[in-house]
């Protein structure tokens, strides 16, 4: 059974229309602002003139767009902190440059820290799951990244002193330490990549965000599909009114709720790829930086060869 939005929630909608330009902003709640960047979103949480928090840090080279959005909405005030839903390159790419100006703490789940303190790379992206963006995914470097001394573990218990009213939810699958943010008072969900609202594996989906549809996490960088399914189901059970995703346009009830529950019910058929390394070699999600099932150098060469063959076939098909 899906949640029916209350009159109080309906009164604060509709939000600003989805933005089409990079660096553009969309006010989703009075204190939740989406910043659209190439291929990915970041979010500003907090009312103008009050302490605020940045969620994720986008692609490399995007620090200027993020700072400009913060200037517009928070008048040059630095954030209290930066919270990472996870540490893949498209979510931490501008972080180092931002930290040169904003000397603020960065928080991630404890299972994510080995990838963000220079200890271990993420599992290698899988270019064989289908889609042009998947074929290009080896360009998304798996790290390891090192943001010491700024990066810290999110506090246990799920509540953040600098984000009153919000709760941190551990939603593994896309990474071991992936988190989403939930505010029960208005049923707002900052999803990260636990699920997205575009077909991120395709060029059209990744760049134009069409069609807008509740979709599983980006397949080329999801190393444990059972955990990803369980995370989607746990988020669907919250019956969110707003889902603000890492990729794609944010979505509201009732369309989002219908599609999210459908994805939760049919995850294995709708989201799990029909081929891919991690289908048979899932990476454990319960250990810090677990990469025991990631392909070694020989396995990576095989993945590259398969991806290259797939790209050649795709290009030949388009010429005909």
Mean pLDDT computed over 172-195: 98
| Cβ contacts of 233 within 8 Å, gap of 6 or more | 264, 267
Residue 42 clears pLDDT 90, i.e. is over it: yes
Residue 303 clears pLDDT 80, i.e. is over it: no
**Domain-embedded: residue 248:** yes
243: its two tokens: 């889902």
| pLDDT tens digits along 235-255 | 999 999 999 999 999 999 999
Q: Is residue 8 within 8 Å of residue 16, measured between CB atoms?
A: no
Q: pLDDT-derived band of residue 307, with 50, 70 and 90 as boundaries? A: low
| Cβ contacts of 296 within 8 Å, gap of 6 or more | none
Count CB atoms within 10 A of the CB of residue 6. Answer: 11
Residue 197 clears pLDDT 70, i.e. is over it: yes
Mean pLDDT computed over 165-186: 97
| pLDDT tens digits along 109-144 | 999 999 999 999 999 999 999 999 998 888 888 999
When the pLDDT of each residue in the chain is averaged and rounded to a whole number, the result is 88
Write down the pLDDT at residue 76.
83
| Cβ contacts of 254 within 8 Å, gap of 6 or more | 2, 4, 5
Write down the pLDDT at residue 296.
56
Write down the pLDDT at residue 91.
98
Q: Provide the domain count of the chain.
A: 1
Q: pLDDT-derived band of residue 16, with 50, 70 and 90 as boundaries? A: confident
Residue 313 clears pLDDT 70, i.e. is over it: no
Write down the pLDDT at residue 18.
82
**Domain-embedded: residue 286:** yes
Q: What's the CATH number where 279 sits?
A: 3.60.15.10
State how far the Cα of 33 lies from the Cα of 58, in Å rounded to an integer: 15
The dihedral built from the CA positions of residue 284, 138, 141 and 70, taken in this order, carries a sign that is negative
Q: Which residues of 252-274 are buried (b: 16+ CB within 10 A; e: fewer)?
A: bbeebbebbbebbeebeeebbbe
Give the per-residue SS3 of the chain: CCCCCCHHHHHCCCCCCCCCCCCCEEEEECCEEEEEECCEEEEEECCCCCCCEEECCCCCCCHHHHHHHHHHHHCCCCCCEEECCCCCHHHHCCHHHHHHHCCCCEEECHHHHHHHECCCCCCCCCCCCCCHHHHCHHHCCCCCCECCCCEEECCCCCECCCCCCCEEEECCCCCCCCEEEEECCCCEEEEECCCECCCCCCHHHHHHCCCCCCECCCHHHCCCHHHHHHHHHHHHCCCCCEEEECCCCCEECCHHHHHHHHHHHCHHHHCCCCCCHHHHCCCCCCCCCCCCCCCCHHHHHHHHHHHHHHHHHHHHHHHC
**Domain-embedded: residue 14:** no
Angle at 80 between CA 76 and CA 81, to 5 degrees: 115
Closest CA to 193 of 25, 39, 3: 39
Residue 39 clears pLDDT 60, i.e. is over it: yes
Residue 194's domain spans which residues? 19-319
Write down the pLDDT at residue 79.
98
**Domain-embedded: residue 13:** no
Write down the pLDDT at residue 298.
53
Count CB atoms within 10 A of the CB of residue 309. Answer: 12
154: its two tokens: 């999110």
Residue 49 clears pLDDT 80, i.e. is over it: yes
Angle at 51 between CA 45 and CA 53, to 5 degrees: 35
């Amino acid at each position: 059974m899906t949640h029916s939005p209350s009159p109080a929630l309906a009164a604060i909608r509709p939000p600003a229309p989805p933005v089409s330009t990079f660096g553009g902003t969309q006010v989703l709640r009075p204190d939740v602002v989406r910043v659209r960047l190439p291929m990915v979103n970041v979010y500003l949480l907090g009312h103008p003139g009050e302490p605020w928090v940045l969620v994720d840090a986008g692609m490399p080279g995007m620090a200027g767009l993020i700072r400009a959005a913060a200037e517009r909405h928070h008048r040059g005030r630095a954030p209290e902190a930066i919270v990472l839903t996870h540490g893949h390159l498209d979510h931490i790419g501008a972080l180092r440059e931002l930290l040169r100006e904003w000397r603020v703490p960065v928080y991630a789940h404890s299972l994510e820290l080995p990838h963000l303190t220079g200890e271990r790379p993420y599992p290698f992206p899988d270019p064989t799951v289908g889609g042009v963006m998947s074929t290009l995914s080896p360009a998304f470097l798996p790290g390891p990244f090192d943001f010491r001394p700024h990066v810290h573990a999110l506090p246990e218990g799920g509540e953040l002193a600098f984000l009153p009213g919000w709760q941190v939810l551990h939603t593994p699958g896309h990474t071991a330490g992936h988190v989403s943010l939930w505010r029960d008072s208005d049923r707002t969900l900052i999803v990260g990549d636990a699920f997205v609202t575009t077909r991120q594996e395709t060029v059209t989906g990744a760049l134009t965000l069409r069609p807008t549809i509740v979709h599983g996490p980006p397949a080329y960088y999801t190393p444990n599909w059972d955990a990803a399914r369980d995370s989607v189901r746990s988020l669907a059970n919250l019956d969110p009114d707003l889902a603000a995703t890492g990729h794609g346009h944010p979505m509201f009830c009732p369309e989002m709720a219908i599609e999210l529950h459908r994805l939760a019910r049919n995850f294995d058929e709708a989201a799990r790829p029909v081929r891919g390394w991690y289908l048979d070699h899932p990476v454990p999600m319960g250990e810090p930086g677990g990469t025991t099932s990631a392909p070694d150098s020989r396995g990576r060469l095989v993945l590259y060869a398969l991806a290259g063959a797939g790209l050649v076939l795709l290009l030949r098909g388009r010429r005909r």
